Amino acid sequence: MRWIGFLSLVALSECLVTIPLTKIKSMRESLREKDLLRDYLQRHPYSHAYKFLSGEGVTVQPMRNYLDMYYIGTISIGTPPQEFKVIFDTGSADLLVPSIYCSSPFCVTYRNFDPRASSTFQSTDRHFELPYGSAKVTGMLGYDDVRIGDLVCKSQAFGLSWLKFSKSLEYSGYDGILGLAYPALALRNTTPVFDNMWNQGLISENLFAFYLSSNEKNGSVVMFGGVDPSYYRGELQWVPVSEQGYWQVTVDSISMDGKVVGCADSCQAIMETATSLVIGPTNPILNILRSISAQTTRTGWYVVSCETIHSLPDIVFTINGVAYPVPASAYIRREQTGICKTNLDTWDRSSYWILGDIFLRLYFTVFDRANNRIGLAPAIA
């Protein structure tokens, strides 16, 4: 999300390092090795898994978990391809990478796109300015081929930034952002990457899905065009999208120990892969913090006694009649210093809630554009 997606990252990104992505063995490969693939496909010809396992129009992009703060995958742009590490962001809709024309001194820490080195680049005279967090990104719009795994989006619009996000993100370990929200959030008269995947016939189903692992080395994936049921338990529960801009849903209520602490008369929430925390309006968040006896530090963080984590109640988000508990082990994090901080934050700009990665790590999430709905199921550990 342009205004929100990086609020929780700015203060925490200075200690990050970049580590190469790891190849993940797919369910299809595992079944093939055991000589079970053909039998599985014959027994499940009409399931979502059929298209995924048979390899028809589905791409799985590995991602790296950076300190439970955000998830990064590699894409390439141009001919020959120039690689970039990007955050796959469900809270924005544009593709942005740094360019060689960046005037900020921080650009030396990023990989910069060189349009002169690509035979397929198409320039424009259109400039843009976009808000991200507390900073603005300015640059020029261009078109080129964008590769994600085995997919190639031809003549994809993307932003070549001239000014970087902020000094605190100088060593953040990623170069740019690939937005996966609805086209309503994209730059005017441009088509987002995911929409081009569908329009150009690159994927067999008009959806994508996230599995966010707590493992820092590997395991996290974003999949385009299909769903792999081996990443979740039980059945997907579907929630209608309430407004087609962000991936926004209606929350029935938020409770702890059976007592409503927020959204008493329902509220709106956004599923946001580029935000590490759960963010909500001030009063409900303060209600939660008081209920767990959180104390404020001089630096503004809310902390609890580490000895109490096992006894703290779940925060339960009830969405479309289904309860989605978030345990204290998810909304409290233990620092190396021995202090236990909350993964909750407040904001005053809106009554909306932001369900970031501490929620999405618990629930495999399908973003279904064909039916304007979100599917949720408990993620495998």
Structure tokens at 365: 């999430």
Q: Residue 307: its pLDDT value, please?
A: 92
Domains of the chain: 7-227 (2.40.70.10), 237-378 (2.40.70.10)
Please state, in angstroms and rounded to a whole number, the distance separating the CA atoms of residues 369 and 374.
Answer: 9
CB neighbour list of residue 381: distance below 8 Å, 6 or more residues apart: none
Owner of token pair 């090795």: 33
Q: What is the pLDDT of residues 307-358, one digit of tens each?
A: 999 999 999 999 999 999 999 999 999 887 789 999 999 987 778 999 999 9
Residue 180, CB half-sphere, CA atoms under 13 Å: how many?
A: 25
What confidence score (pLDDT) does residue 348 get? 76
DSSP string, 322-371: EEEEE-HHHHEEE-TTS-EEESEEE-SS-S-EEE-HHHHTTEEEEEETTT
How many Cα atoms occupy the beta-carbon half-sphere of 173 within 13 Å? 23
Q: What is the pLDDT of residue 330?
A: 96
Tokens describing residue 140: 């020029």
Each of the 381 residues of the chain gets a pLDDT tens digit; together they read 554 444 333 333 333 333 333 444 555 556 545 555 434 533 543 344 444 444 455 789 999 998 788 899 999 999 999 999 999 999 999 999 999 988 777 677 788 999 999 999 999 999 998 876 656 788 999 999 999 999 999 999 999 988 655 544 455 678 899 999 999 999 999 999 999 999 999 999 999 999 999 877 678 999 999 999 999 999 999 999 999 999 999 999 999 999 999 999 999 999 999 999 999 999 999 999 999 999 998 888 899 999 999 999 999 999 999 999 999 999 999 887 789 999 999 987 778 999 999 999 999 999 999 999 999 999 998
As separate numbers, helices (DSSP H) first and strands (DSSP E) second, the chain gives 8, 26
